[in-house]
Structure 1
Amino acid sequence: MAPAITLAAEAPTLSAANTGFMLICSALVMLMTPGLAFFYGGMVRVKSTLNMLMMSFISLGIVTILWVLYGFSMAFGTDSGGVVGWNSDWVGLSDIGLTELWDGYTIPVFVFLVFQLMFAVLTPALISGALADRVKFTAWGLFVALWATVVYFPVAHWVWGSGGWAFELGVIDFAGGTAVHINAGAAALGVILVIGKRIGFKKDPMRPHSLPLVMLGAALLWFGWFGFNAGSWLGNDDGVGALMFVNTQVAAAAAVLGWLAYEKIRHGAFTTLGAASGAVAGLVAITPAGGAVTPLGAIAVGAVSGVLCAMAVGLKYRFGYDDSLDVVGVHLVGGIMGSLLVGFFASGKGQSDVEGLFYGGGLDQFWKQCAGVFGVLAYSLVVSAILALLLDKTIGMRVSDDDEVAGIDRAEHAETAYDFSGAGGGAARSTAPATAARAESKKVDA
């Protein structure tokens, strides 16, 4: 996704086909945020459903405005020390020509920036799943704004921006294993270590209130992920985007089977929640790797990640951190596995000629992947924890205990997801006369 260096004689011209393709991919990635809202919304208890939906939707508002004002410039502007970018002409997006092309590609700058905007919107929304039931909505909105500014925008530059240290090192991240999933998963871990556990964690049942909603959200994520992954090649000219599309489907399918197999062996049942979570785990894992591996490699990446993520979600009970909806177990672990497995399964026949260990390339790429993975993980974990601590000590991150127990939907949004006030009303009215008649009959008999 970073700009390529081309000779003047090779300067590309605007391609209507690639421009249209990328606009469609951008719309698909945008759909992933509402899909994530449904996925998370179904996994929480009834009393937190709307809050979970809103934690995703508010990211669409906040991050979009920040991206226009300065986010795009920070992520993809002229490099400064391999850490952050800047281009004053992009501040406010006011000095970009309608047909001005993204360097080395056949799509306008506006198309590239809106595609990348959807990544920026989705990433903080992913964090919200770890914080279900207990975070003030105002504090969450401020966290999203601060985190996008000091974590996501710089990390996106590291990984995809020309001059970014990970980009220059040669770390392969096709569509966001490090910049999106490890970044969000590490941030989630950092925040929950600061704000603590939900009331009743490991004591009260906290089962999903709507598994159909979870499955709907997973389906929307899976659908949108094709734009997320295939679109990251920024065009459709040489078949690499098509390879990524195929690998996205293959890895998700393998991860579903892997997760369900582990679940059956470990717990004795195939669950719908396991199928949905397995699909997401496979999609996460193939995101960094799909342009570098073959479809057989994608099966391996998906299957391994499906099993390991299924195992990882139980770690919160062993170590006592309350990752409400398994953001750490799925996104952090899945992102790590997909990124590191590039070092083993890169075939040299996809996005580049880089070969992994199993294709005769040795461990050189693996060590580069390790640098990218653990660099992003450490930075996001530490900075996210600091941001959460600052907010907690100033405005407070958590709702009151009473509001948490009663339900965060009513406390923060003055609404509930479902209105049961009229449920059974007709039956109650129709049976009332009969009940009264029976009571009167008993008096007469007495």
Structure 2
Amino acid sequence: MSLAYLIYNFLVIIILLLYSPALIYRILTNKEDISSLLERFGLLSKEKINNFRDEQVIWVHAASVGEAGAASPVVAELKQRFPEYKIIFSTMTNTGRDMAKKIIKEADDFIYIPFDFFMIVNKVVKAINPELVLIMETELWPNLIRYSKKQGAKVMLVSGRISDSSFKQYKYLGSLLKDMFSKIDILSMQSEKDMNRIIELGADKGKVCNNGNTKFDQEYGKVNSEVKEAIYQEFKLDSKQPIIVAGSTHDNEEEQLIPLYKELKTKFGDLILLLVPRYIERVEEIESLYKQEGINTIRRSRIKERDSARESVILVDTIGELAKLYGIADLVFVGGSLIERGGHNILEPAALGKLVFFGPHMFNFKDSTKLLLENRVGIQVSNVAELIEQMEYYLSNPDILEEQSRQAIEMINDNQGASWRNVELASRLLARRKELSK
């Protein structure tokens, strides 16, 4: 093991020791179950191990909710192309796993990715023995890649993305980063910019390609008239009411949206605001915040109790419903953008034919932002005052809003196909591996 890996593994141990109290607290407070913790330490259940023993395996890894969504069309394409393979899907977060289980029906099993310490990772890789490891977007874990290659697997980065912050951080990895890149067989990036960045970081130009963003292929759910009607009835809404959905919001954003709700409510009396926080455990905090402002709210989990005459702000405290709620929206705001968080997936509402509003901080989704703005299906504002002004304009001009909806769907259709292209490359890797093993 090189000095770079020795230093890296030493740092991983330090981080684990520092993180241990938090892990213990999560278990004691039932925020994490013991089985998930065991998986993170490489202790897979016998049932999971037996499920993959003596099988051909493809391992797909995605960090959390967004990456799981991007992986879903890739996994579907893989299963269709290689039905004889078993697919194991790993995530880092609990919400990512919950989402993956809901939308990725083609996966044969789900695990938490092990902590990236060499002894832990080596044990898991040997137990799973994958022929191919597909890593989504930016999940570059040195030991996972190293020991997958050591076990004989082909490794591919799919829909790779290098954000501004990642670009700066990766530079500190030095020789470790270059060694990691050398062990990845294909680095398939989302855009030309991502491709140039990873080459600048030290990736072999011959292994790097631009195949687009798999999120364009994601099945966001067809929110047809029947689905919409069911939502209207369950949420006690009228289809003629103007509805704003604020998705993936963060701390300080819900507070900023209070004046937006108040001002638009005075002009559109039957306005409905659906707030979908990125982390549902914050719902109680948001509830209290709006109560202090004299705004009545109702949780989605208690929607049967909703008094439609009193409660026009609905706090969504469930996972996996954002896409269908975007489907009933007249206007969509995507959070993480009024604060310096870097934004979230703006393609999801666009794919459902929505004009998408977002703030100035979209540095993690620069290409998607540029695409939506160029196609005039995205509205970027610098502050809430501008957001109020723009939303009022479009609520007052439904004909213009309808035209934007058509343009959004056209834009998505024109950019699909990344999943097929990535799986085509993956199939070549599998074929090459079989040739070498003869």
TM-score tier by shorter-chain length is: under 0.3
Which one has a larger percent helix, Structure 1 or Structure 2? 1
The structure with the greater share of residues assigned to strand is 2
Instruction: Please report the TM-score for the alignment, with normalisation by the length of structure 1.
Output: 0.28
